[in-house]
Amino acid sequence: MPVLTVQPSGQQVDAATGDSILATLKENKIKINNDCGGEGECGSCHIFVTEGRKTISKLQREENAMLDTLVGVGLKSRLACQAEIGEEDLTIELLSFI
Ligand code: FES
pTM for the whole thing?
0.95
For 16-75, what is each residue's pLDDT tens digit?
999 999 999 999 999 999 999 999 999 999 999 999 999 999 999 999 999 999 999 999
Cα 80 to middle of ligand 1, angstroms: 7
What lies within 8 Å, CB to CB, of 13 at 6+ separation is: 3, 4, 6, 24, 27, 28, 30
**Domain containing residue 41: CATH number:** 3.10.20.30
Give the nearest ligand 1 atom to 39 CA. 2
- What range does the domain containing 68 cover? 3-94
How many structural domains are present in the chain? 1
Q: CB of 36 closer than 6 A to ligand 1?
A: yes
Cα 82 to middle of ligand 1, angstroms: 8
Q: CB of 40 closer than 6 A to ligand 1?
A: yes
Residue 96's pLDDT is what?
72
Report whether 29 contacts 3 (CB < 8 A): no
Q: CB of 4 closer than 6 A to ligand 1?
A: no
